[in-house]
């Protein structure tokens, strides 16, 4: 007995593979890494063939990110922190000038560095009572670093920041550079808090700028660069600090010392323990700063 083709059972048709991320889509493409089927929307260019989004993310997570010489991530936009700091300083200066200027602006009254609470007579004869750090106005230790007394004052500081900031930012990375700047500004205020008269007002980014001088000096020396020009610059600024009245040598000294300490941690930390050394240096500076602030506050209280 013979069977016609219609009598024989038809062979089952293979089921096309479907994208594992989009089960409703048929595909004949597979991820080169995990082998799972992927549709055109899930295809990602890789070094060899295509990979699925999950494998591409896993591979990127396992790739060691490039680091700067100082240990930070290479900044995507070098100089962005420096320009942002300059912008904040300029805006703060314009706001202060537009709202009364030195001794008159509410921003000046609120943000200037002041050790102890005191009454101040303004140019118009009025008296204002300003709360100092010793009475809880701790924000002054940072806000004062973003206020300036004159156009020449802010111009010099911002020019120095523009010259040295991007160089150190590329060396340290954005996060380390910003942390070093803020830490140095705080440490400079701690020196002012201890070494200045309690009722003396202080403002300006000079403490942080001198910290940049100190960091650049150590880093350049470690890299074998000629530091004579920078030493001359530091010496000139030190002479101006001492000889010209109404300049806070206390803040300049505090900033420079802090910059040298942090610069040494950045430049000389062994590669294998770089993060530990640098984080420890930051922690040590902050602990000393906080401890010194508490002791000075107790003394003034």
In the chain, domain spans: 15-53, 80-300
Is 206 in the active site?
Answer: yes
pLDDT digits (tens, 9 = 90+) for 56-94: 888 766 655 566 655 555 666 778 999 999 999 999 999
Helices (H), ranges, the chain: 53-62, 80-98, 106-111, 140-143, 151-172, 174-195, 206-222, 228-243, 249-268, 274-300
Is 153 in the active site?
Answer: no
pLDDT digits (tens, 9 = 90+) for 203-256: 999 999 999 999 999 999 998 999 999 999 999 999 999 898 889 999 999 999
- For residue 293, name the pLDDT band (cuts at 50, 70, 90): very high
At 181 the pLDDT is 97
Query: Do 128 and 122 meet the contact criterion of CB atoms below 8 Å apart?
Result: yes
Angstrom distance (rounded) from CA 233 to CA 196: 25
Structure tokens at 56: 């591409």
Backbone angles phi, psi at 37, to 5 degrees: -70, 140
**Nearest in space to 136 (alpha carbons), one of 300, 248, 255, 286:** 300
Arithmetic mean of pLDDT, 14-35? 84
Structure tokens at 102: 């030195």
pLDDT of 5 above 80: no
CATH architecture of the domain formed by 80-300: Up-down Bundle (1.20)
At 55 the pLDDT is 84
pLDDT digits (tens, 9 = 90+) for 110-124: 999 999 987 777 666
pLDDT digits (tens, 9 = 90+) for 171-188: 888 989 999 999 999 999
Q: One of 153, 252, 280, 301 is an active-site residue; which one? A: 252
pLDDT of 194 above 80: yes
pLDDT of 18 above 90: no
What rounded mean pLDDT belongs to the chain? 88
Q: One of 206, 248, 280, 301 is an active-site residue; which one? A: 206
**Nearest in space to 245 (alpha carbons), one of 212, 187, 209, 200:** 200
Give 236 or 30, the one with higher predicted confidence. Answer: 236
Kindly report whether the global pTM for this prediction surpasses the value 0.85.
Answer: no
């Amino acid at each position: 007995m013979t069977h016609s083709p219609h009598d024989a059972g038809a062979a089952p048709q293979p089921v096309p593979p479907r994208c594992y991320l989009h089960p409703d889509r048929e595909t004949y493409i597979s991820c080169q890494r995990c082998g799972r089927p992927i549709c055109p929307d899930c295809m990602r260019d890789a070094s060899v063939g295509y990979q699925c989004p999950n494998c591409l993310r896993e591979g990127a997570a396992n790739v060691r990110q490039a680091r700067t010489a100082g240990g930070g991530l290479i900044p995507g936009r070098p100089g962005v922190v420096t320009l942002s700091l300059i912008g904040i300083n300029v805006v703060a200066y314009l706001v202060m000038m537009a709202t009364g200027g030195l001794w008159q602006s509410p921003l000046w009254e609120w943000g200037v560095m002041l050790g102890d609470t005191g009454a101040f007579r303004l140019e118009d004869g009025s008296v204002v009572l300003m709360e100092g750090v010793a009475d809880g106005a701790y924000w002054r230790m940072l806000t004062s670093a973003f206020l300036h007394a004159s156009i020449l004052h802010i111009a010099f500081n911002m020019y120095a920041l523009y010259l040295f900031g991007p160089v150190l930012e590329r060396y340290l990375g954005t996060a380390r550079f910003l942390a070093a700047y803020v830490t140095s500004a705080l440490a400079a205020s701690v020196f002012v808090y201890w070494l200045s008269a309690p009722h003396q007002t202080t403002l300006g980014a000079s403490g942080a700028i001198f910290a940049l001088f100190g960091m650049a000096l150590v880093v350049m020396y470690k890299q074998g660069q000629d530091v004579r020009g920078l030493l001359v610059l530091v010496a000139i600024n030190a002479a101006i600090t001492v000889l010209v009245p109404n300049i806070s040598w206390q803040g300049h000294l505090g900033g420079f010392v802090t910059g040298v300490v942090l610069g040494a941690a950045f430049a000389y930390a062994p590669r294998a323990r770089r993060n530990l050394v640098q984080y420890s240096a930051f922690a040590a500076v902050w602990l000393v700063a906080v401890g010194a602030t508490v002791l000075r506050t107790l003394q003034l209280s």
